[in-house]
Amino acid sequence: MAGFNKVVEHYDAAMAGLTDNMTIIAGGFGLCGIPEGLISQIRKMATTNLTVVSNNCGVDGFGLGLLLQQNQIKKMISSYVGENALFEQQLLSGELEVELTPQGTLAEKMRAGGAGIPAFYTATGFGTPVGEGKETRKFDGRDYIMEESITGDFAIVKAWKADKYGNCIYRHTAQNFNPMAATAGKVTVVEVEELVETGELNPSEIHTPGIYVDRVIVGKFEKRIECKIITPTTENI
């Protein structure tokens, strides 16, 4: 009896069931708070025609950029892309499709998807290319567009600490899209820095309750920094 124990030992088990043509929702902002080992596992599995919902698409050779190298991604749903040359190439050649979505709308699409809300109205994007072809409606004299929520076959999430029941805590700004992604997957897999005994985390401080989580795996993270800027101190001036 596994009960509520969500822990898996191997990456094969963590991503078991992922097949071609599936939609994956990924946490992370830039390279911050990305499930590095789960991305590597998807690369190893070589599944193709994936739709990936993620704010960004990594960089050349790191993060989701690794999946571009093997042409595994058919479509990206993102707010900001093009930090990598390969992305640009595949976009221009038509191998890759991109659906640009305002960042707040993207977060809300995941949140709503996980919360069983099929669509919502937002002022964001009204009167812009993003609003084209979408239903509009006026509330209190202001124009809004209807945006549909998103769910995925898989959600891949990076957390700082989790217990065996899948209760998760994120660290600093590595939180970003991870909590919403966690709610929006049919199968939600969390890769964590540290697994703790169930009961160790303070229930009041849990960001993602274990009910959303199907599998937990302990990973090793490189945590690459995209843009390292340092305040000069007296020593390094």
Residues making contact with other proteins (CB under 8 A): 29-33, 55, 78-82, 88, 91-92, 100, 102-108, 110-111, 122-130, 160, 171-180, 207, 223-231, 233, 236
Nearest distance from C-beta of residue 137 to other proteins, angstroms: 15
C-alpha 204, offset from chain centre: 24
Tell me whether residue 2 or residue 227 sits nearer to other proteins (CB atom): 227
- Characterize the bridge pairing of strands 73-78 and 215-218: unpaired
DSSP string for 140-163: TTEEEEEEE---EEEEEEEEEEEE
Nearest distance from C-beta of residue 69 to other proteins, angstroms: 20
Tell me whether residue 47 or residue 167 sits nearer to other proteins (CB atom): 167
Asked whether the beta carbons of 190 and 154 are under 8 A apart, the reply is no
From its phi and psi, is residue 49 left (phi > 0), alpha (psi between -120 and 50) or beta?
A: left
Tell me whether residue 103 or residue 198 sits nearer to other proteins (CB atom): 103
Residues 6+ apart with CB under 8 A from 183: 110, 111, 113, 114, 115, 155, 208, 212
Which phi and psi angles does 73 have, rounded to 5°? -100, 130
Nearest distance from C-beta of residue 232 to other proteins, angstroms: 9
Tell me whether residue 129 or residue 203 sits nearer to other proteins (CB atom): 129
Tokens coding 111: 């949140």
Nearest distance from C-beta of residue 230 to other proteins, angstroms: 5
Nearest distance from C-beta of residue 207 to other proteins, angstroms: 8
Is residue 185 helix, strand or coil?
Answer: strand
H or E element that contains 23: strand 23-26
Nearest distance from C-beta of residue 102 to other proteins, angstroms: 4
Tell me whether residue 1 or residue 92 sits nearer to other proteins (CB atom): 92
Tell me whether residue 18 or residue 180 sits nearer to other proteins (CB atom): 180
Tell me whether residue 30 or residue 210 sits nearer to other proteins (CB atom): 30
Nearest distance from C-beta of residue 211 to other proteins, angstroms: 17
Give the number of other CB atoms < 10 A from CB of residue 201.
18
Is residue 61 helix, strand or coil?
Answer: coil
